[in-house]
Amino acid sequence: KCVEIDVHEAAGNIIVKHGYTATASILFADVIEAISKYSEKHPGHYPIIISLEVHLEPLMREKMAEILLEHFN
């Protein structure tokens, strides 16, 4: 399973959005939490590959890494 996530910053938050579409953005932490919970409930569905398209400044990238480590460490 492969999930591609387009990561952006908006108003100091790390968000996931699909550019130039009518979809709403959601928090990156919520997306990662959902993937983490799914993988815990369905361990036979491994591996889950997460492909990140990152559009963040270095400081926000550190924050993004902290979120990933919190859920997948």
CA distance 43 to 17: 27
pLDDT band at 42, cuts 50/70/90?
Answer: confident
- If one compares 43 and 62, the residue with the highest pLDDT of the two is 62
- Amino acid 61 reads R
Contact in structure between 43 and 50 (CB atoms under 8 Å): no
pLDDT in tens, 54-67: 999 999 999 999 99
Question: Which amino acid belongs to residue 27?
Answer: L
Give the pLDDT score at 20: 76
pLDDT digits (tens, 9 = 90+) for 8-22: 999 999 999 987 788
